[in-house]
Amino acid sequence: MNLTLGTLEELKIHLLNESMRSADTFDATIAAIGRGVAARFEQYCMRKFLRTVNDTFECTADRMHVSLPRYPLDAAPTIELRDALSTGYVAQVYNDLVVDHDLTAGLIKFAAFPGPYWSRLRFTYTGGYWFSDTAGDNGTPQSVQEGFITLVINDETVAITFDSEYTSPPVVTPTVVLPDANGSAISATPYAITTTGCLVKLGAAIPASGYQLSWVATGSVPGVATPADLPTGATARPDDLYLAWLLQCERIWAVRDNLGINIAGEKSVTFVSSTLAALELVPEVKNKIDGYRRYALT
């Protein structure tokens, strides 16, 4: 199932223990989280991410340039102009209207106004980031490794060693597990990721015993597979954008009460406030997706 920036299968691998991934108990919830986070990313970045074939965009014709919302573009769009409802849209010769374009940014520049303010332009184009929405990541065999590390008081950096080597550095997601409900939340950021392991920088020194580091690594492994073909002209989903999506989904999943024990009673206010806070982009995620923001719309 396609969730805009990844698939339901990919997100289940990231959020659920291996023993739970074959069940569909949480599929609807996980899919809603995935789509919701993708929509939040698009709102924050003021653009569309999912590659869509023959998408359309309409605007007034009294402008010198247009920024299409879904990019990078596979190829130059087709352009139609409507001067009146009675005449409908009429195809235009692209090079007669367009003086320059930047397909990677979805920017189309005109030599002059294509028409007055009452005229409409319609663009038909294929754009956005592509990924395989079949099992696995772009047809490559995947390996998911996970584990727990007992943290020691005053730990600020932790080393993770993978059980088996990857063919390329995997996506690593570490999470500090609190000893109890009164424990202090501590962030964990992976760095120096190699095919055999990585280091994790903790957001603060471990204050007491009982803390653990849970980690999941997902990446390609040697094997024979039929790769999914990247369509001609398409741009593959960037790894850092995908990782940011996984991390934000995990943030929401982590504060969600799957057993329902915090819905009522003394903890209800804390639960609701923490859940709402999780809907905001966490700083690490913002840092990763700031490079995908569009600051000028037209």
Which residues sit opposite 55 in a β-bridge?
125
Mean pLDDT of 52-77: 96
Does 136 have pLDDT greater than 70? no
Give the start-end residues of each E strand in the chain: 52-60, 65-67, 78-82, 90-91, 98-102, 107-110, 120-127, 129-130, 142-150, 157-161, 171-177, 188-191, 197-202, 212-220, 235-236
Write down the pTM of the prediction. 0.66
Helix axis angle, 239-255 relative to 8-15, nearest 10°?
60
Estimate the share of the chain in helix, then strand, then coil, as percent rounded to the nearest 5.
Answer: 25, 30, 45
Was domain 141-224 assigned CATH 3.30.420.40? no
Which residues sit opposite 148 in a β-bridge?
214
Question: Which range is most confident: 187-191, 253-257, 269-273?
Answer: 187-191
For the stretch 169-199, pLDDT in tens is 888 888 898 888 778 889 999 999 999 999 9
CA distance 69 to 292: 12
CA distance 226 to 247: 29
Mean pLDDT of 80-108: 95
Residues of the chain with CATH 2.60.40.2080: 141-224
For the stretch 12-36, pLDDT in tens is 988 888 778 888 888 999 999 999 9
Is the previous residue joined to 174 through a cis bond, with omega within 30 degrees of 0?
no
The dihedral over CA atoms of 268, 3, 245, 149, expressed in degrees to the nearest 10, equals 70
CA distance 67 to 89: 20
Structure tokens at 211: 């803390």
Backbone phi and psi for residue 284, each to the nearest 5 degrees, phi listed first: -65, -35
